[in-house]
Structure 1
Amino acid sequence: MKTFLLIGAREWKMLTRNYGQGVIMAVFVCAALYAIHYGNAVIDRQEDTVQYIRRQNALDQQQLIKGLAADTSTAAGLAAWEKAAYPSKVRFFLNYYAIDEPAPMSRLSIGQRDVNAFYLPLNAQNLYLQLFRSEIANPRKLLAGNFDLSFVIIYLLPLLIISFTYNLLSDEAEKGTLPMLRIQPIPLHHIILSKALFWLGITTSLLFFITGIAFVWSGTPVSAASSMGWWLLITWSYTVCWFALLLLVNAFRRSSAFNALCSLGVWLLFLVVIPALLNLSFTNEKQADPTKLTDFIRRQQGLGESKQEKLEVLERFYKLYPQYKHTDTAAAARFFEFQAYSAYVTLTDAAAKPSVDAYYQQVWDRHQKITAFNLVNPAANTQNLLNILAHSGLEDAFTFRQSITAFHGQLCHFSFEPLFAGRLMTKADFHHIPVFKPSPPLQATGALFKGLGWLWLLTAITVTVAYYRLRYRLNAQP
């Protein structure tokens, strides 16, 4: 411990006199503060949008319901009454919103929340035409990414570590102090390890300081204490992994220039080259085209004009949904045309479901393959862990889509019940307007432990190899 304190005091003096490293640290802190601001601004805009559409949707629904009391002696009043009274028109004009609320930690790791839709207007019409109406992917956003805190940690923190540690050993040799260190009673590899631990302490303090600011600035609630703990553990593990990699670079006893180039090469490999190669490899796989899928849904055979064709459509519909077939056929036949069209729309969705499920399965399979390969890449692995923690990854986007599908079924039932019963809507019906309830957040503790396990495994292997070189080769060579 005394040795470590002495070496730490020496490194601290050198740090306070090295204005270049001070500037680098200041730039890093400024970048982190801007990233925190950026993440808050993005999520604030999303929350403002959510509040606006909720207010507007409530006003639109109230306006439509008022049509039940409209003056039908005027053309405008009659039109308003028909929109509210006829279930066939309610299923089209009464809109609802499915909303994916941002999790508290999404302010620190936006993930795919700016690419995947976080809200979707819905009615009881074709589900998949509405689902694919929103933008699935924005190439510009995918290319640029988000300058949030996770970006700073994943991309910029390793550069800061490189600037601290690329010359742990080579600097002593180039300054001519290495022979003096060799004659000390302390093994040389202990000195190098102590220097690395000092800089690890500096980096950890800086990381935790910035993270603390982020938690306070973002207003992270106390209820998210476990998520905050996971965030600190994941980011610190990522930091230790990079220190292990830099220790291994130093263990090869090359010049400072070579160490710097080698370290930057490792950074490029993990953060640019490997992700690009993986995306290129899996992009070349044959995958379903969402545009073609939407065209397929639109090209479904139209509803026949004859009564017999409509009866056949209704018969197929009743086989799938017998609860809507009423014994009072005279009353039910009141909206025969609208019933046939609604049945046709529902059957169209049912026919498209296998193709849609196949498309999403291919997207999911591709994601799973890339995630499996990324487990050995500390940068991609850590980014995935932070997205899981912030509920801003593809897994949560898929959960949101499943919630939309379930909600659409409730919307259809809301208008189908009076439509197929052959009655008009009443005020009592509108007291039971469906409300979207998202699925509970995914419990991804297993995925977090798995990702952390791979990160620790890579760190342990790297440290073992570096320690071997430092202990058994460094001290034995002049």
Structure 2
Amino acid sequence: MRSLSIFLYEWKHFVSSPFKIIALLLFLIASIYGLHNGADLYMQQSNEIERLNQKAKEEKETILSYFNKNEKGPENRPWVDVTTPFWSIWYTPTYYFKKPSPTIVYNIGQTEQYGFYKKIGLYSSPYDADMAKEIANPERIQSGTLDFSFVVLFLMPLLLLVLLYNIKTSEAEQGFLPLIFVQTGSKNWWILSRTLFYTILLLFSLLGLMFYGATLTKVFEADNTFWIIFLYLTIYLVFWVVLYFLILKYGKNIISNTLQMIGIWLLFAFIIPAVVHQWISIEKPTNLMIDLIDIKRDKTDEIYEQSNTDTDNQIFNLYPSLKQTKTAQDTIAIKEARNDSRIALINVAMKIAISKLEEDNRTKNELISKTYWFNPLTYFQNKLNHSSKTHYDDYQTYRNDIQNSVDKRIEIMILDIWDNVKVDKTKYLEYNKILNK
């Protein structure tokens, strides 16, 4: 009953404070804006994926028309022969997508930092220029893009500060705090109950906003992710409530409490993440992907200039079964097969360079994870990224799948070239089926 009286008292205090009401309204408006940004990005990516699927279908129909007309390729490219494995696979349209999760409405994460689709070719790699674009989400705030998670992680603590900053101290400065303690029976209980009122108010606000976000995308089709995200937001809110409660409990006046709250917000929201970022940059400087550039430029030339014997040994080491083919025994046929197969050697060299790059990234992520115990904002950001499938690990899985698709494409092409396979309409459709699984 005492808590109910205190809640009613705090409700009257809240509705009579325009400053607090305006702060809450601004938070709600920013959250709704962020939710719509996430929903818009989800729709943009979904529509683009649908467009690319249609484009791939049209490209496929164009090649099929060549087979129907007994033509070998487009008239303006007489060197193209789609009845050979090389050109048939070259013109097999294959797109690999990182399909957006509906929960992206809550957290854009690293979605804007990486590409979400890749057209697979024989010379493709997971780190081509079209696989990394734009900038990280915290920086997007400067250009007008913010998401729901940014509002919650950075602005909700400020809103909580506005709602709590004058609890206890305003009554103390007016001189009737002892009377309140006599009526409520306990100073700590009175402060806790008032703090709990705003905690519940924000929890219901967050829940309402999340349900609103769920109407913008198909969030509830993503298993129980909705409630997992809400749980993380609840824990994050409680974290700040505990910190502010301790300041209120031991605070002396409004100015002192407000300055301490602002200080602790700056510490956890900016200072610690900035220090961690600087430390990581010193320990593991940014990889400029020079190895990839060198391979694309220098290693490719080296592979094409090396002796036929070295090339054959490397190709046979990758695909031992090629030694038994008729092409391997034919000194004339092997020349063209060998030349087309050098793509596989370039792909291997690229994968070696990529493995070094990814090892650097793994090391960075491990260093960051060791700071979670004193860097809560980054911890919760990563948890939200995982929940909305926008984490670095999700994009690493996507890159791995792209590499597997490239490997499969090259392997099928080389095996069929050395087996002297003649491609017809049925075989081309088989390529499409296998390479677009």
Q: Give 3-state SS (helix, strand or coil) of 2:118's partner.
A: strand
1:69/1:81 contact within 8 Å kept = no
Going from structure 1 to structure 2, the CA distance change for 1:314 and 1:180 (only over 3 Å counts) comes to: same
* Partner SS state of residue 52, structure 2: helix
Cα 1:287–1:341, aligned 2, differ >3 Å: closer, same or farther? Answer: farther
Q: 2:229 is matched with which residue? A: 231
Q: Give, as a single letter, the amino acid of the residue that structure 2 aligns with 1:274.
A: I
Determine if contact 1:8/1:195 at 8 Å carries over to the other structure: yes
Could you say which residue in structure 1 is the equivalent of 2:249? 251
Distance 2:152 2:294 in 1: 43
Name the CA distance, whole Å, in 2 between partners of 1:164 and 1:142.
25
- How many Å apart are 1:410 and its aligned residue? 1.8
Matching residue within 129, 133, 151 for 1:133: 129
Asked if the contact 1:287/1:362 (under 8 Å) is kept, the reply is no
Asked if 1:405 is matched to 2:403, the reply is yes
State the percentage of identical aligned residues: 20
Which residues in structure 2 correspond to 1:153-232 (within 5 Å)?
Answer: 153-184=152-183, 186-221=185-220, 223-232=221-230
Aligned partner of 2:378 in structure 1 is: 380
Contact 1:325 1:420 in 2 (8 A): no
Q: Which runs of 5+ in 1 are unaligned?
A: 438-478
Q: How does 1:417-436 map to 2 (within 5 A)?
A: 417-432=415-430, 433=432, 434-436=434-436
Tell me how far 1:135 sits from its aligned partner.
4.9
Q: Is the 8 A contact 1:158 1:267 kept in 2?
A: yes
The alignment partner of 1:98 has SS state of: strand
Are the equivalent residues in 2 in contact too, given 1:105–1:220 (CA < 8 A)? yes
* Secondary structure at the counterpart of residue 284 of structure 1: helix
Seen in structure 2, the aligned counterparts of structure 1 residues 196 and 56 have a Cα distance that, compared at 3 Å, is: same
Deviation (angstroms), 1:72: 5.0
Q: Within 2, Cα distance between the matches of 1:243 and 1:313? A: 66
- 338 and 153 in structure 1: CA distance in 2 versus 1, 3 angstrom threshold: farther
Counterpart in the other structure of 1:452: none
CA contact (8 A) 1:155 1:271 kept: yes
**Deviation (angstroms), 1:10:** 0.7
Distance in 2 (alpha carbons) for counterparts of 1:140 and 1:183: 53
Correspondence list, 1:62-73, <5 A: 62-70=61-69, 72=71
Amino acid at match of 1:295: I
Find the partner of 1:343 among 341, 346, 354: 341
Cα offset for 1:91?
Answer: 4.0
Q: Deviations over 1:133-164 (max 9, x none)?
A: 32535447662255111111111111111111
Q: Which residue of 2 aligns with 1:151?
A: 150
Name the amino acid aligned to 1:422: N
Judged with a 3 Å threshold, the aligned counterparts in structure 2 of structure 1 residues 114 and 335 are, in CA distance, closer, same or farther, namely farther
For 1:185 and 1:327, how far apart are their aligned partners in 2?
92
Q: For 2:337 and 2:23, how far apart are their aligned partners in 1?
A: 69
Q: 1:171 to 1:80 in 2, by over 3 A?
A: farther
State the partner residue of 1:461.
none
Query: 1 CA distance for matches of 2:276 and 2:166?
Result: 32
* 1:142–1:27 distance in 2 versus 1, CA, 3 Å: closer
C-alpha distance after superposition, 1:375-401 (max 9, x if no partner): 432222111111100110101011111
Mean Cα deviation higher: 337-346 or 4-13: 337-346
CA distance in 1, matches of 2:99, 2:14: 44
How many residues are treated as equivalent by the alignment? 430
CA distance 1:81–1:431, change in 2 (3 Å): farther
Does the Cα contact within 8 Å between 2:113 and 2:136 map onto a contact in 1? no
RMSD: 2.5
Give the AA of the match of 2:40.
A
- Which residue of structure 1 aligns with residue 239 of structure 2? 241
Q: What SS does structure 1 have at the residue aligned with 2:95? A: strand
What secondary structure, in the 3-state scheme, does the structure 2 residue paired with 1:134 have? helix
Point out the more displaced range, 156-165 or 345-354. Answer: 345-354
1:101 Cα deviation from its structure 2 partner? 0.6
Deviates more, 1:370-379 or 1:135-144: 135-144
Task: Tell me the CA shift for residue 327 of structure 1.
Answer: 3.2
Amino acid at match of 1:89: W
Contact 2:167/2:248, CA 8 A, preserved across alignment: yes
What code does the residue aligned with 1:134 have?
Answer: D
Structure 2 gap segments, 5+ residues each:
none
